[in-house]
Amino acid sequence: MKRKMTKAEKTEARWCWFFIAPTMIGLVVLNFYPIINTVWQSFCETGDFGRGNTFVGLKNYIDVLSGGEFWISLWNTFKYALIEVPFSVCIALVLAVLLNRKMRGRSVYRTIYFLPMVAAPAAVAMVWKWLFNQQYGLLNHIFGTDTAWISDPKIAWVSIGIIGVWSILGYNMVLMIGGLQEIPRDYYEAASIDGATGIRQFFYVTIPLLSPTIFFIVQTRIIGALQQFDLIYMVMDTSNPALGKVETVVPVFYRYAFTYGNKGCGATFVILLLLVILALTVLCQKAEKKWVFYN
Amino acid sequence: MKQRAVATGLAIAAALAMTACGAEEAGTGSGGASGSADALEVKIWDGAQVDGLQQIADEWTAQSGIKVNIQTLGWDEYWTLLEAGATGGDMPDVFWMHSNVAQKYMENDMLLDLNSRIEASDKIDMTNYYEGIAGMYRMNDVQYAVPKDHDTIALCYNKAVFDQYNVAYPDETWTWDDFYDAAKAITDAGAGNAYGYAIDVGNNQDGWWNIVYDFGGYIISEDKKTSGMDDPKTLEAMEFLGKLIKDTMPPQSVISENGCGTLFNSGVVAMTTQGSWNINTFYTSDNSENYGWAMLPYCDRNGNGAVDEGERCSIYNGIGWAAAANTDAPDAAWELIEWFCSEENQVKQADLGVTMAGYLGASDSYASAFEGMNIDAFLDMEEQGTLIFRPCSKYTTNWETMMGENLVGAWNDTSTMEATCRTIAENMNAQLAQE
Amino acid sequence: MRKEKCNAVLIHVILILMAFVMIVPFLWMLLTAFKTISEATSVNPFVILPSSWKFDSFKNVWKSYNFLVLYKNTLLMIFFRVVCAVLTATMAGYAFGRMKFPGKNVAFALVMIQMMVPGQIFIIPQYVMVSKLGMLNKMFALVFPGMVTAFGTFLLKTSFQGLSKDMEEAAMVDGCNYGQRFLLIMAPLTRSAMISLGIFTAVFAFKDLMWPMIVCSESAKTTLSAALAKMQGQFSSNYPELMAAALMACLPMIVIYVIFQKQFVEGIATSGGKL
């Protein structure tokens, strides 16, 4: 069934390759070579300093999947995502709707909510660690408690989730405002005529019409949350008693690959995480077809 | 047409730039450490030492004409980077080596063989250095690094807190039981505002390992094949440690979040055990006039009321100056190492208050480097106590990390101490079997 | 009328409360930076406001870390990354969005996969490349991983797809080839997407932590974000200085953001809305 290309098609193809060449070459060198390298490593017992890798087949996969650490870290990853994604999306949605009108101080609010996005991650980690500090922290002082916010295995995951929500809230909100502004005003007018006000408009007009944006945010935030690294790496010290209940997959990979120098197992962790992300993305796409409203 | 030419030109340039990168990357690469003979790249992990060392290095530059560029990294980044550098064939010319990983680097020929150069040198004779440290950086009779320093551990106490709760200051007669009593008295009277002592799971060399050896236990066997964590003596020491944790320390979460130094400096904790590399932190603290140093307590195992060999231990360690095996300037790198480790500059290093020396008998002036603070305890520990070299094996970091992770549980619930130690021993034996 | 006013007040109350929560960490950073260590770690009594507004911590940090150089490095890195990313992504986006060629789906699938892989796995191989090129501790090293962008390609592709056919067809009739069409007609129309990508790239380049820390370990060659992370490792207990450093590291981006906040917000909003 292979058809010869016409001359015009050939010209077009040549131009195309020329246009995509920088990006594709860059991606191959910067990203695909490392990915393939990692996949290969996951089948190897890696030697010191990347030497003497020996192929061991699925041994790393069997070790990782039969050991508890992967499942615990995966569970921790989901726990983090379960806090960060719904809360940051819902609060952002409410804020976006409240801000999507002519009102005094609108841009001031928007500026403040977005502020965490432009803060360096190390700064965010430092200040939250300081706020959450059991001995000297502001939070325990204000509430008169003696809670180990980030060191109590029972609640540390919530505290980390709070930092996550705080960090990403403004970003989600700005995306929502973008989506809200594309909803034609007629819909609201029509809804008003039908007698729908406030809350009802929110549920019957705003949410359905905003669903593509909401869906996009949820999807990208799930992927982002599953790849969480900076926050946990910076906030949770190695002697933190809650580490085991909070440490997500990527920091565990980092520990294996860099602290233990066990690149093979580290690679296996990442590849497994990648498979989980791929599966979730496919699920999301399916869900999108079913629930999201496109006009 | 002109625009087309410009557009095409631009895009081709971009594409070329990219392919050029790709092509060069694909090439074999010359390897070799950076830094030609007119400059050496030096990496260390302790920011507190960089000024003094740079000063010593600058004197070398004045006579050799080779610039020395010392860079500091945090501990974790240092090892990540060194490992990545070793993997990619680009290490600093001269750098610090640590007992935790020395064996791994030596076995893989990452470090410059110094034998012939030491033989030819009139400044370096390996018998002049602490044998535990020198031996650490030797493998199959090849010397890969020269000791830069050594350290001891002592007890720092806050007189203000002791006065407030009316407890006598620590002195050289203290046994660990006396230590416990004093620490408990302060903790009880402090009622949540003050505690006697604090160490975290990671404070091994400057904390609980000393107690283990004082009690006659050990961490790793001489042949580095078995763990000592389930040795009865070790378990006894760990049970005692459990008592300390339970009765004299703040919650582990507090220790972990702040570190012992901060807790001590803010007056929350009355005593802390610290390594000699850390003196400056306390010397420069706001409340340093309240601080005193004493030797570590001992454990009177035979009950004769006197300190015998092995009853007052100080786990010691020493950094080694090493060079990259593939450095472009091996001679210059060696000369710098020779300079740092010569008797003259070892004395100078102590003089400047950088650290104690790796050279035997060159550390006396260290005590006077901190004007107004008496740190004789660190030197006394060495003269009157027993120095034990820091437990290590080929992959020390792996079992040390595992140990810390497991002990967090025992720190939070001291009744699990014995079980935890046995688990650690089991894991550690399994890890050692694979080395 | 009365009910509406009530609502407006209620909305403002909610918004102000939320704003307060969002800003407390920054305020606490500021207050701590002005305290002495003893004040910062005093529990009994707890100190909220520093006893005097001294700039000692700022001065110390400024002195021990060469902040001017850090600002310069960060700015240059952001500049180069933005230029590279926008250039390569616009070209590729045009091809993916508006042209047909064999292998397009495969190529685009590769772009999508890149976005799902945790970035940490690229670090070591990329580090080895940079070190083999002899480019460690150089500006090139900082820019290297940001030269191309899968996300940007995706964003620009969507943007090109959204343009109407008329203009391009008119250009085709005029005899323009693809290069001219792209450069003179189509690319300018995606200006807003380019700005979005530029802002997006700038923000994330600024926040990049691990890469600059590893590849530019010299404190005179690294970026604000990495230098700050290093400080936390080194001086974990001097809270006032840490907070002063954190503030100083965030300040330039905050100032830029406040000045260009309209562009920021619109840039981010369009990048999301269009996807």
Chain B hits for A140, Cβ within 8 Å: none
- Interacting residues of A57 by C-beta distance below 8 A, sequence separation 6+: A43
Say yes or no: B85 contacts chain C, CB-CB below 8 A. Answer: yes
Q: How far is CA C140 from CA B84, B311, C120, C228, in A?
A: 18, 57, 19, 21
Residues A6-65 have pLDDT tens digits of: 888 888 888 889 999 999 999 999 999 989 988 988 998 888 887 778 888 899 999 999
Quick one: average pLDDT of C234-242?
77
- Interacting residues of C169 by C-beta distance below 8 A, sequence separation 6+: none
238-267 of B, contacting A, C-beta below 8 A: 250-258, 263, 266
pLDDT at residue B427 tops 90: yes
- Give the C-alpha separation, A199 to B131, whole Å: 79
Mutate to test the interface with B, among A238, A239, A246, A262 (most CBs of B within 10 A): A239
For B71, list phi and psi in degrees, rounded to 5: -115, 140
Confidence of residue B28 (pLDDT cuts 50, 70, 90): very low
Q: Which of A22, A24, A128 is facing C25, going by the closest CB pair? A: A128
- Give the C-alpha separation, B172 to B384, whole Å: 10
Strand, coil or helix: A260: coil
- Give the C-alpha separation, C124 to B131, whole Å: 36
C128/B87 CB distance under 8 A: yes
Quick one: average pLDDT of C63-91?
92
Q: Dihedral sign, CA of B227, B230, B233, B235? A: positive
Say yes or no: A259 contacts chain B, CB-CB below 8 A. Answer: yes
Strand, coil or helix: B99: coil
Confidence of residue A295 (pLDDT cuts 50, 70, 90): low
170-189 of A, contacting B, C-beta below 8 A: none
Tell me what pLDDT residue C16 has. Answer: 93
Picking from A22-36, A67-81, A251-265, which range would have the lowest pLDDT averaged per residue? A251-265
**Mean pLDDT of all residues belonging to chain C:** 85
Question: Which chain B residue has its CA at the smallest distance from C91's CA?
Answer: B11
226-265 of C, contacting A, C-beta below 8 A: 228-229, 231-232, 239, 242-243, 246-247, 249-250, 253-254, 256-258, 261-262, 264-265
- Interacting residues of B262 by C-beta distance below 8 A, sequence separation 6+: C41, C236, C237
Residues B159-192 have pLDDT tens digits of: 999 999 999 999 999 999 999 999 999 999 988 8
Chain B hits for A20, Cβ within 8 Å: none
Tell me what pLDDT residue B90 has. Answer: 79
- Give the C-alpha separation, B336 to B93, whole Å: 10
Say yes or no: A131 contacts chain C, CB-CB below 8 A. Answer: yes
A237/B256 CB distance under 8 A: yes
Mutate to test the interface with C, among B1, B2, B4 (most CBs of C within 10 A): B4
- Give the C-alpha separation, B406 to B229, whole Å: 12
Q: Which of C180, C219, C234 is facing B7, going by the closest CB pair? A: C180
| Amino acid symbol at B307 | V
Percent of chain C at pLDDT above 70? 95
Question: Which subunits sit against B, judged by 3+ Cβ pairs under 8 A?
Answer: A, C
Quick one: average pLDDT of A108-137?
91
C275/A216 CB distance under 8 A: yes
pLDDT at residue C230 tops 50: yes
Say yes or no: C47 contacts chain A, CB-CB below 8 A. Answer: no
Chain C hits for A211, Cβ within 8 Å: none
Structure tokens at B166: 């009316």
Say yes or no: A281 contacts chain C, CB-CB below 8 A. Answer: yes
pLDDT at residue B6 tops 60: no
Q: Which of B31, B193, B261 is facing C44, going by the closest CB pair? A: B193
Tell me what pLDDT residue B138 has. Answer: 94
Which of residues B377 and A3 earns the better pLDDT score? Answer: B377
For B175, list phi and psi in degrees, rounded to 5: -95, 170
Residues B42-72 have pLDDT tens digits of: 999 888 888 899 999 999 999 999 999 898 8
Tell me what pLDDT residue C75 has. Answer: 93
120-159 of C, contacting A, C-beta below 8 A: 120-122, 124-126, 129, 144-145, 147-150, 153
Tell me what pLDDT residue B160 has. Answer: 92
Classify residue C182 by its DSSP letter: I
pLDDT at residue C275 tops 60: no
Picking from A29-43, A249-263, B395-409, B419-433, which range would have the lowest pLDDT averaged per residue? A249-263
A273 neighbors A226 (Cβ within 8 angstroms): yes
Tokens 């990540």: give the residue.
Answer: B80
C246/A254 CB distance under 8 A: no
Q: Dihedral sign, CA of A118, A119, A122, A128? A: negative
- Give the C-alpha separation, C74 to C251, whole Å: 13
Is the bond leading into C45 cis (omega within 30 degrees of zero)? yes
Which of residues A141 and B8 earns the better pLDDT score? Answer: A141
Structure tokens at C15: 């918004």
pLDDT at residue B23 tops 80: no
Quick one: average pLDDT of C19-35?
93
pLDDT at residue B258 tops 80: yes
A174/C91 CB distance under 8 A: no
Longest CA pairwise span in chain A (Å):
78
Question: Which chain B residue has its CA at the smallest distance from A46's CA?
Answer: B87
Q: Which of C88, C246, C250 is facing A23, going by the closest CB pair? A: C88
- Give the C-alpha separation, C159 to C153, whole Å: 10
Residues B212-251 have pLDDT tens digits of: 999 999 999 999 999 999 999 999 999 999 999 999 999 9
Which ipTM score applies to this complex? 0.86
Exposure letters C66-103 (e unless 16+ CB within 10 A, then b): ebeebbebbbebbebbbebbbbbbbbbbbbbbbbebee
Percent of chain B at pLDDT above 70? 91
Confidence of residue C231 (pLDDT cuts 50, 70, 90): confident
A155 neighbors A147 (Cβ within 8 angstroms): yes
- Give the C-alpha separation, C56 to A153, whole Å: 37
Residues B292-345 have pLDDT tens digits of: 999 999 999 888 888 888 899 999 999 999 999 989 899 999 999 999 999 999
209-228 of C, contacting A, C-beta below 8 A: 209-210, 224-225, 228
- Interacting residues of B94 by C-beta distance below 8 A, sequence separation 6+: B40, B41, B42, B43, B321, B322, B323, B324, B327, B333, B336, B337
Chain C hits for A9, Cβ within 8 Å: 100
Structure tokens at A200: 């009802």
- Interacting residues of B13 by C-beta distance below 8 A, sequence separation 6+: none
Confidence of residue B4 (pLDDT cuts 50, 70, 90): very low
Tell me what pLDDT residue A294 has. Answer: 65
B236 neighbors B212 (Cβ within 8 angstroms): no
B25/A239 CB distance under 8 A: no
Strand, coil or helix: B138: strand
Quick one: average pLDDT of C71-87?
94
Q: Which of B79, B86, B404 is facing A239, going by the closest CB pair? A: B404
Name the minimum distance, in Å, from the CA of B184 to any CA of chain C.
Answer: 21
Q: Helices (H) and strands (E) in chain B — how many of each?
A: 17, 13
Residues C158-170 have pLDDT tens digits of: 888 888 787 777 7
Tell me what pLDDT residue B30 has. Answer: 34
Classify residue B249 by its DSSP letter: S
| H-assigned helices in C67-184 | 67-98, 104-116, 123-132, 139-143, 150-161, 165-173, 178-180
Name the minimum distance, in Å, from the CA of C23 to any CA of chain B.
Answer: 23
Confidence of residue C195 (pLDDT cuts 50, 70, 90): confident
Tokens 């905003």: give the residue.
Answer: A210
Confidence of residue B35 (pLDDT cuts 50, 70, 90): very low
Say yes or no: A238 contacts chain B, CB-CB below 8 A. Answer: yes
C210 neighbors C123 (Cβ within 8 angstroms): yes
Confidence of residue B207 (pLDDT cuts 50, 70, 90): very high
- Max mean pLDDT range (B318-327, C58-67, C189-198): B318-327
Tokens 């076995």: give the residue.
Answer: B107
Structure tokens at B172: 């050289």
Tell me what pLDDT residue B15 has. Answer: 39
Name the minimum distance, in Å, from the CA of C167 to any CA of chain A.
Answer: 18
Quick one: average pLDDT of A102-113?
87
220-279 of A, contacting C, C-beta below 8 A: 223, 227, 229-230, 234, 250, 253-254, 257, 267, 270, 273-274, 277-278
Upper half-sphere CA count for residue B246 (Cβ side, 13 Å): 13
**C-alpha closest to that of C261 among C193, C206, C203:** C203
Chain C hits for A31, Cβ within 8 Å: 114, 117, 122, 150
The CA-based angle A34-A39-A44, given to 5 degrees, is 115
Helix, strand, coil tally for chain B in percent (to 5): 50, 15, 35
